[in-house]
Structure 1
């Protein structure tokens, strides 16, 4: 009877431990799922937040002297180096703020955006100003729509936080970039600053790096001092 009682206790303990482990596993799964939902909501809210303003208002803001003051485009172009003859995709090109400047430096530019109104504005801008070396490309939300090794560089300015499923998205970006090419991300620091979206829409540098590692990038140059309100990450 004594041995039988011990056996029953052991069986009960094992059942209790199994139930506890299942509970812990369930909690962990729920936490991971909740985090994924929150990340998706933040990305969705970032797009919704931007769309609170009209395209015309956004274009004026994107092309304003105030943006020039903090964006310091010449510093960015100097950082990017010699662009003559290189093919560059500008993802989230919007009004063409950087696309035009890249083309003026001799790059062949693919100005990519998900928005028809921005693409239409940029097409008019290209035609009216006889701009060369720029083509527009409407892209879906979940892909850069690049051919394998199509470009030398991908530039994304102030748009990283709009992308969903980022490791998968940037794995496609990497596939579309030449072996010796690079991805350059410029986005806002994740704290209160006078420009950019609300803090909860921003993505911190360490999160960007971790997500790009998952996408297959292994070499990083991180510059947090080039611009006052933005970090620059070059990934290869």
Structure 2
């Protein structure tokens, strides 16, 4: 989903400021899709991993990155539950609109914890649970406070924020 309406609701440059990324940071966009956040991340960091289970999405991201002259996004085809990177590799991770789709939430959160360096920071963005005309079915969505508890159970400290009437964020750090 890369369209102007999404940019108004979720301006990536503004949202990503909350990750405090510096050029030396290694950043992972988990469930990167066509690169809505990956490309702006590449403007902030010299090393970006775009991770997605879908080869089609990775191919689209590769095309978009090439068209934008971005050559430092490393694409990885993998499920969020099992990412083939060494422990404590990543300074910052983003997981936008992914956790409601994973098969094993606890395993995914444990994997994100494993990937992050000791001072690492994770940003999770998800859909609010109220009825609306967009997003996944209501029964697939996760309550913000419940998700924060799950993230805490995986070993993170958390802070929650509403981004707009439709989306929320859980910021987490080790």
How far apart are the structure 1 equivalents of 2:90 and 2:80?
19
Deviation at 1:110, TM superposition (A): 0.3
Q: 1:201: Cα distance to partner?
A: 1.2
TM-score, normalized by length of structure 2? 0.91
Q: Deviations for 1:69-98, whole angstroms, at most 9, x for unmatched residues? A: 211223202222243221111011000110
Partner of 1:161: 100
Indicate the structure (1 or 2) with the bigger Cα radius of gyration.
Answer: 1
- Residues 11-30 of structure 1 aligned to structure 2 (within 5 Å): none
Q: Deviations over 1:124-148 (max 9, x none)?
A: 2223332132111111353133310
Q: Would you identify which runs of 4 or more consecutive aligned residues in structure 1 move more than 3 Å?
A: none
The partner residue of 1:213 within 144, 152, 159 is: 152
- Determine the structure 2 residue equivalent to 1:73: 12
Q: Secondary structure at the match of 1:161?
A: coil
The 3 A distance-change label for structure 1 pair 177 and 141 is: closer
Q: Aligned runs of 1:167-178 on 2, under 5 Å? A: 167-178=106-117
Judge conservation of contact 2:125–2:167 (CA < 8 Å) in 1. yes
Alpha-carbon separation, structure 2, partners of 1:68 and 1:81: 20
Q: Relative contact order: is structure 1 or structure 2 higher (C-alpha 8 Å, sep ≥ 6)? A: 2
Query: In structure 1, what is the equivalent of residue 29 of structure 2?
Result: 90
CA contact (8 A) 2:80 2:108 kept: no
Distance 1:78 1:140, change over 3 A: closer
Asked if the contact 2:148/2:160 (under 8 Å) is kept, the reply is no
Q: Which runs of 5+ in 1 are unaligned?
A: 1-61
Report the counterpart of residue 36 of structure 1 in structure 2: none
* CA 195–75 in structure 1, closer or farther in 2 if over 3 Å, else same: farther
TM-score, normalised via structure 1 length: 0.68
Q: 1 or 2, which has the higher strand percentage?
A: 2
User: Is there any run of 5+ residues in structure 2 with no aligned partner, and where?
Assistant: none
Alignment RMSD (CA, Å) = 1.6
**Do the aligned residues in 1 keep the contact of 2:52 with 2:58 (CA within 8 Å)?**
yes
Distance in structure 1 (CA, Å) of the matches to 2:16 and 2:155:
26
